[in-house]
Amino acid sequence: MFLLICQHVTKFTPKLLLGLALGAQFAQATNPTPPRVVSLTPHVTELIFAAGAGHTIVATVNASDYPQAAQGIDRIGDGLNTSAEQVLARQPDWVMGWPSALMTQLQALGVETVVLEPTSMVQIAQQIRTLGLLLGTESVADAKSQEITAEIAAIADEMTDQSAPPLPVIVLASQDGQYVLGRQALTNDALTLCGARNIFAEALSVAPSVSLEGLIAANPALVITGYEPAAWLADRFTVAVIDPNWLYRPGPRFVQAMRQICTAVRQARQSRQ
């Protein structure tokens, strides 16, 4: 199931996806002008470029800094304080981003919106393929999707000791260690594929707060973070630092974060033996 939501659609069935793709292909055949897309998050910008459709983006948010070609796209603020008027001024055919009040407002105004929020590693590849269908770059998107799918499988296959119990892990969501990733499906899926488990996976929120005492009581075998760890954290725990643009953006480069997560899990497991 693609986690892709269009106007008035809460679930995307294969039949609906096919209908949308055929509709998009018909529109492109009758009007060869590329669709106009506004991307409201950095990870969506990366997904669109991975699908070979970076040329369709007419505006994006300040933090969309990758790939390099994205840096020349017009900006419409930070996404959090971006107004519907700013988006509408770009005359988009599609607006893509996270679920948000702005996306809901644009839907109510009749704008075609797409929510891209992969909840598993395989969905990263699936959503790139979907974008290729919607934006007319199927061949590029299919090739990239297959490449990412194969890379994910190869990384997981390198975790040879499948019989070992999952390694208990914490993933920090803030530099000070006061917030951790909890019910964050994509990260937790990567951890599972790497032979680990998120101690806070059953938390009620995506990024719950946790005290120092709570971190110590959790007793993780590994702490993963996108920030340089504080001295007390590095002294007390085994810490793996991963590029924050890989670790915290659910786009194509999250596959590189998964690779580093697996390496860190393997090393932490070996150090405990």
Tens-digit pLDDT string for the chain (273 aa): 233 333 333 334 444 455 555 555 555 554 568 899 999 999 999 999 999 999 999 999 999 999 999 999 999 999 889 999 999 999 999 999 999 999 999 999 999 999 999 999 999 999 999 999 999 999 999 999 999 999 999 999 988 666 789 999 999 999 888 999 999 999 999 999 999 999 999 998 999 999 999 999 999 999 999 999 989 899 999 999 999 999 999 999 999 999 999 999 999 998 877
pLDDT at 163: 77
Domains and CATH numbers, the chain: 4-153 (3.40.50.1980), 161-272 (3.40.50.1980)
Q: Where are the alpha helices (DSSP H) in the chain?
A: 14-30, 42-50, 84-88, 101-108, 121-135, 138-157, 185-193, 212-218, 231-236, 244-247, 254-272
Interacting residues of 56 by C-beta distance below 8 A, sequence separation 6+: 34, 35, 36, 37, 48, 135
Cβ contacts of residue 159 below 8 Å, gap of 6+? Answer: 193, 194, 195, 262, 265, 266
Smallest CA-to-CA distance from 128 within 110, 113, 143 is with: 143
Determine how many CB atoms are found less than 10 A away from the CB of residue 69: 12
- SS3 at position 76: coil
* List of residues 6+ apart from 88 with CB closer than 8 A: 106, 109, 111
Measured CA to CA, the distance from residue 17 to residue 11 in angstroms comes to 10
CB 48 within 8 A of CB 37: yes
Residue with tokens 């488990």: 197
Q: What is the pLDDT of residue 267?
A: 94
Q: Helix crossing, 185-193 with 121-135: angle to 10°?
A: 120
Q: What is the pTM of this model?
A: 0.89
* SS3 (DSSP) at 181: coil
Identify the DSSP state of 180.
Answer: B
Q: Are 70 and 58 contacting, i.e. CB atoms less than 8 angstroms apart?
A: no
CA–CA distance, 239 with 227 (Å, rounded to integer): 10
- Copy the structure tokens of residue 72: 């020349």
Angle between helices 185-193 and 254-272 (to 10 degrees): 50
